[in-house]
A = this chain, B = another copy of it.
Amino acid sequence: MRPTFRKLHPPAGARPGTLVPSPTAVPPRIREIRYGPDGVTDRDVAGPASLTPEAPGDGMVTWVDVQGTGDVTILRQMGERFGLHPLALEDVVNAPQRPKIEDYNDHVLIITRMVRPDEAGELDLEQVGLVVGSNYVVSFQERYGDVLTPVRVRIGEGLGPIRSAGADYLAYALLDTIIDGYYPVLEEISEALARLETRVLTRPGSRSLDAINRLKGQIIAVRRGAWPQREALNRLVRDGSRFISPDVRVYLRDTYDHAAQAVDVLDSHRELVNGLLGLHLSAASNRTNEVMKVLTIMASIFIPLTFLAGVYGMNFEMMPELHTPWGYPVLLGTMFVLALLMLSYFRRKRWIGGDPEDDEDDE
């Protein structure tokens, strides 16, 4: 099991705003997408300095997509460029923070958790930080690659209302896409549960147990990301924010429902996976029972017979049975009958000839 909690935190007591580049963080790649009803520009920029200068009032929305948090200087410049509160900058860099939505004077900060399978098939829970201003969204991720390509396509090809809507709609689109990314993971967990149940019933063993526990760990980890996300969205939908228009709030309500559904499903899954553990324990105990039965049947049949054989192997001088010609066949017959009696006893107890519940099962 990989440790389940690891956080890029500054040394305790560092002053607020201390940025701690993750040892695995990569140098930032910055991409600027500016769009409006009339057009789109989409270009990679070297650093905050190369961003298009602000031009409020031109109706354009800017999405600055920062992937990689490995260069503190650039991140700090980015913070200055968009007037980020030091705490907001710290939150987007020092991942993972608890998912939350916070109102600052000049922007809203949305910390969210994106989930997707990594190359090894393990779940990768990566933090995405969104800073939403009046006409821009800056998104920060620790590593390259994300689930947001469909939003880029919708902007690029002008699908749907996104090009004519504001920065708040973009933020919604990003959030919604991130939350939608939970569904395939939930389905995969659901299928893994079904597969594991079959496996536990047919081939219990320590490997299934390990798989169950790993699945349980995954469910708990995903739920730890999803639950505060639901709470934060709930508060945003309920209380609103200066940077989110009422129209977009209706959309966010939908996103909230999806987040709530994800938590519901994760809770069910958690209960089911606990049930699987019980099933496994029970299956293991059934196996022990099977083993015991074989031993008991073998021993119970042969121990009395061996005793009889032992008796007639004794060397007493006066054992009249030994000298009659029918002694041997009678004894063999007796042994045979005894064995049959034991067998029929075990059959009556249903230890032989099938599971006790296989017969008479006419319901």
Contacts and interface: CB of A to CB of B under 8 A. Distances in A.
A288 B317 CA distance: 44
A90 B250 CA distance: 13
A145 interface: no
A327 B322 contact: no
A55 interface: no
A76 interface: no
A94 B43 CA distance: 35
A355 to B, nearest CB: 5
Nearest to A174: B13
Contacts of A187: 3, 5-7
Interface of A: 1-7, 9-17, 85, 87, 90-91, 97-98, 100, 102, 104, 147-151, 154, 159-162, 173, 176-177, 180-181, 183-184, 186-187, 189-191, 193-195, 197-199, 201, 203-210, 213, 216-217, 220-221, 224, 227-228, 250-251, 253-254, 257-258, 260-261, 264-265, 268-269, 271-272, 275, 277-289, 291-296, 298-300, 302-307, 309-319, 321-325, 327-328, 331-332, 351, 355-358, 361, 363
B280 A282 contact: yes
Contacts of A319: 315, 328
Contacts of A269: 4-5
A13 B149 contact: yes
With most chain B CB atoms within 10 A of its CB, the pick from A162, A261, A331 is A261
Given A289-B288, A303-B306, A277 B280 contact: no
Given A281-B282, A310-B313, A190 B98 contact: no
Contacts of A314: 309, 312-313, 315, 322, 328, 331
Contacts of A11: 150, 180
A306 B289 CA distance: 25
A281 B279 CA distance: 9
A357 B260 CA distance: 38
Given A1-B198, A4-B272, A12 B184 contact: yes
Q: 8 closest pairs, A vs B, by CB? A: A13-B150, A309-B310, A15-B160, A13-B177, A12-B180, A205-B357, A312-B314, A98-B261
Nearest to A184: B12
A29 B335 CA distance: 75
Given A147-B12, A193-B1, A257-B98, A310 B316 contact: no
B303 A268 contact: no
A331 B74 CA distance: 84
With most chain B CB atoms within 10 A of its CB, the pick from A85, A293, A322, A357 is A357
Nearest to A291: B292
